[in-house]
């Protein structure tokens, strides 16, 4: 069977939901699915989710008025069924859990091979690289943006259609148990763990807690699935050794099954290397710079290799990858400077990778200007991590350093303690102030790196710097 909206009825979804029909008819056909009452179209099922800042049950009336013919609600909801409306109402104990249960059932109504990617950094880039490689070989589904949590991943799986032959799914988390649950839902044929780094420490305690959370994928993945790990990550490999299962590893080390050799850094033009695997050798050219993208490319290639994708698809897919907005993308400015937008997120590991890559891109007499926002969810390591961030900026040889956010003073102090002159280190309070200071400082051949956690919204500075010339 292939589940398809418009051909599926209430009876068919009732069993995987472990729900109870309290109104309507089991034979009622469901023509679509939505969790947003504003976007409901006639004939769709409205799914009432409870979030930290909203409750979908408050919008049932609007969904019904817009034409929803079925709703899924929690048992404790006090929604009153209108006596004049033949509405399918299904109650469940927990709508979030039931959403995952439905998505897991839906996944098994389709024949698509599923690859699931987790890790501290590189998930989204790896996902997009892999999707680009796989697309010529068959219709491929992937998460939009980073819809990778207990809501986003099920919503993605519920988009599976008969024509999809592959799905590449990103799995994120910030507390123990989430990767286990996401793995149960996705039931991947291929599971990838890209690395372990100091992220989400508030919910995970320390980096060992991060490693334990990531290998939940190995614990929950089926016995016949293929597990791919970054073989150069010693902490990850150590944690993975608790499980007795065959692994596929990638990295620079000679013991890895998939390796990158003969790496050539091409500055702003990208990077090239030889991809070696199981007797094959491919010449890979990436348009995006940085050693971190070599690792992302190997992880993406591992998915393709597991799916027996053609080697030329790997070569072409990686060469055509142009990067993702907000993830170390380069924009030339009319003044001759180059803006590096790495504002999507930040943690100590990704910051170090960004700063190391910046070193490779300096040309002629160009200077480096760094604007950082604070990093979130670092728990007890918050102060030390921000001090270390400032130290890395100074050691990079940045000419100017600007910092914003609650822990910006620690970043500035770290930079000053490692030799950055006081007149080149600046605390700023607003996006506008950072924009104005950078405009006043930058000149031809300069590199301007902007990076911060999502909450800091440094993309506003990027937009202001770019729009200032439009």
Average pLDDT over residues 217-232: 97
> Residue 146: pLDDT above 80?
no
Average pLDDT over residues 306-314: 98
Position 326 scores a pLDDT of 95
| Separation of alpha carbons 78 and 362, rounded Å | 62
Looking at the structure, do residues 213 and 310 belong to the same domain, yes or no?
yes
Average pLDDT over residues 443-459: 96
Looking at the structure, do residues 257 and 207 belong to the same domain, yes or no?
yes
Q: Is residue 177 part of a domain?
A: yes
For 391, the token pair is: 């130290």
Q: What is the pLDDT of residues 48-93, one digit of tens each?
A: 998 888 899 999 999 999 999 999 999 988 877 776 678 999 999 9
Position 1 scores a pLDDT of 53
Looking at the structure, do residues 314 and 426 belong to the same domain, yes or no?
no
pLDDT interval class at 347 (50, 70, 90) = very high
Q: Considering the chain, what percentage of its residues have pLDDT values greater than 70?
A: 99
Q: Output the pTM of the full model.
A: 0.94
CB 72 within 8 A of CB 17: yes
- Among 273, 290, 319, the domain-final residue is 319
Looking at the structure, do residues 257 and 353 belong to the same domain, yes or no?
no
Q: What is the pLDDT of residues 386-422, one digit of tens each?
A: 999 999 999 999 999 999 999 999 999 999 999 999 9
Looking at the structure, do residues 242 and 276 belong to the same domain, yes or no?
yes
Looking at the structure, do residues 234 and 339 belong to the same domain, yes or no?
no
Q: What's the length of the chain?
A: 470
pLDDT interval class at 469 (50, 70, 90) = low
Q: Considering the chain, what percentage of its residues have pLDDT values greater than 90?
A: 91
| Separation of alpha carbons 214 and 196, rounded Å | 8
Q: Which of 18-22, 77-81, 142-146, 282-286 has maximum average pLDDT?
A: 282-286
Q: Where are the alpha helices (H) located in 307-381, listed in sequence order?
A: 311-319, 348-361
Looking at the structure, do residues 126 and 273 belong to the same domain, yes or no?
yes
Position 197 scores a pLDDT of 94
Closest CA to 108 of 223, 185, 219: 185
pLDDT interval class at 271 (50, 70, 90) = very high
Residue 382, Cβ neighbours under 10 Å: how many? 18
Q: Is residue 105 part of a domain?
A: no
Please provide the average confidence, as pLDDT, over all residues in the chain: 95
- Among 64, 99, 134, the domain-final residue is 99
- The region of weakest confidence among 67-76, 80-89, 184-193, 356-365 is 80-89
Position 413 scores a pLDDT of 98
Q: What is the CATH number of the domain that holds 392?
A: 3.90.190.20
Looking at the structure, do residues 350 and 306 belong to the same domain, yes or no?
no
| Separation of alpha carbons 399 and 343, rounded Å | 20
Looking at the structure, do residues 226 and 345 belong to the same domain, yes or no?
no
- Token look-up 């149960």 returns 184
- The region of weakest confidence among 47-51, 132-136, 371-375 is 47-51
Looking at the structure, do residues 172 and 232 belong to the same domain, yes or no?
yes
- The region of weakest confidence among 75-84, 225-234, 313-322 is 75-84
Cα dihedral across residues 251, 257, 262, 266: positive or negative = negative
Phi, psi of 97 (to 5 degrees): -65, -40
Beta strand extents in 93-176 (DSSP E only):
113-118, 139-142, 164-170
Looking at the structure, do residues 94 and 114 belong to the same domain, yes or no?
no
| Separation of alpha carbons 157 and 171, rounded Å | 12
Closest CA to 359 of 384, 314, 393: 393
Position 112 scores a pLDDT of 97
Closest CA to 325 of 305, 302, 343, 303: 343
Average pLDDT over residues 3-12: 93
- The CA-CA-CA angle for residues 392, 330, 168, to 5°, reads 95
The total number of structural domains in the chain stands at 3
- Among 260, 288, 319, the domain-final residue is 319
Burial environment of residue 6 by CB neighbours within 10 A (0 to 12, 13 to 18, 19 or more)? exposed
Average pLDDT over residues 441-467: 96
Concatenated DSSP letters for 163-212? TEEEEEEE---SSTTHHHHHHHHH--SEEEE----S-SHHHH-SHHHHHH
Q: What is the DSSP letter of 399?
A: S
Q: Which domain holds residue 399?
A: 329-467
Average pLDDT over residues 94-100: 97
Phi, psi of 91 (to 5 degrees): -105, 145
Distances (CA, A) of 264 to 77, 132, 221, 231, 270: 60, 23, 36, 21, 9
Q: What is the CATH number of the domain that holds 274?
A: 3.40.1190.10
Average pLDDT over residues 11-16: 94
Q: Is residue 400 part of a domain?
A: yes
Own/partner pairs for 124-127, CB < 8 Å, 24+ apart? 124/170, 124/324, 124/327, 125/293, 125/296, 125/324, 125/327, 126/192, 126/194, 126/296, 126/299, 126/300, 127/168, 127/169, 127/170, 127/300
């Amino acid at each position: 069977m292939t589940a398809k909206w418009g051909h599926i009825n209430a009876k068919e979804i009732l069993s995987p939901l472990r729900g109870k029909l309290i109104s309507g008819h089991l034979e009622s056909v469901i023509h679509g699915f939505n969790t947003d009452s504003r976007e409901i179209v006639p004939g769709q099922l409205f799914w009432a989710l409870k979030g930290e800042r909203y409750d979908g049950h408050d919008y049932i009336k609007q969904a019904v008025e817009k034409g929803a013919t079925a709703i899924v609600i929690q048992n404790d909801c006090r929604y009153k069924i209108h006596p004049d409306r033949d509405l399918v109402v299904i109650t469940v104990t927990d709508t979030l859990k039931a959403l995952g249960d439905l998505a897991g059932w839906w996944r098994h109504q389709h024949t698509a091979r599923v690859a699931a990617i987790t890790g501290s950094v590189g998930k989204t880039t790896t996902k997009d690289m892999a999707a680009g490689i796989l697309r010529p070989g068959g219709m491929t589904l992937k998460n939009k943006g980073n819809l990778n949590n207990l809501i986003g991943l099920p919503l993605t799986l519920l988009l599976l259609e008969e024509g999809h032959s592959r799905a590449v799914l990103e799995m994120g988390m910030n507390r123990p148990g989430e990767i286990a649950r996401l793995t149960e839902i996705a039931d991947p044929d291929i599971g990838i763990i890209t690395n372990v780094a100091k992220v989400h420490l508030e919910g995970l305690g320390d980096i060992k807690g991060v490693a334990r959370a990531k290998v939940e994928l190995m614990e929950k993945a089926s016995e016949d699935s293929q597990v791919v790990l970054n073989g150069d990550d010693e902490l990850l490999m150590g944690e993975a050794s608790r499980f007795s299962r065959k692994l596929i590893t990638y990295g620079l080390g000679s013991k890895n099954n998939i390796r990158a050799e003969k790496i050539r850094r091409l500055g702003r033009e990208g990077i090239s290397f030889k991809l070696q695997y199981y007797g094959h050798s491919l010449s890979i050219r990436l348009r995006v710079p940085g050693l971190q993208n070599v690792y992302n490319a190997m992880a993406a290639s591992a998915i393709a290799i597991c799916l027996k994708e053609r080697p030329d698809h790997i070569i072409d897919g990686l060469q055509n990858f142009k990067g993702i907005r907000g993830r170390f993308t380069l924009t030339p400015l009319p003044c001759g400077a180059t803006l590096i937008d790495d504002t999507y997120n930040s943690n100590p590991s990704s910051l170090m990778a960004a700063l190391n890559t910046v070193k490779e891109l300096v040309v002629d007499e160009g200077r480096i200007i760094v604007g950082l926002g604070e990093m979130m969810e670092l728990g007890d390591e918050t102060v030390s991590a921000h001090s270390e961030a400032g130290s890395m900026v100074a050691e990079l040889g940045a000419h100017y350093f600007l910092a914003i956010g609650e822990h910006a003073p620690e970043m500035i102090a770290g930079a000053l303690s490692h030799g950055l002159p006081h007149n080149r280190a600046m605390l700023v309070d607003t996006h506008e102030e950072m924009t104005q200071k950078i405009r006043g400082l930058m000149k031809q051949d300069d590199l301007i790196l902007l990076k911060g956690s999502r909450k800091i919204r440094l993309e506003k500075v990027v937009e202001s710097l770019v729009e200032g010339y439009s």
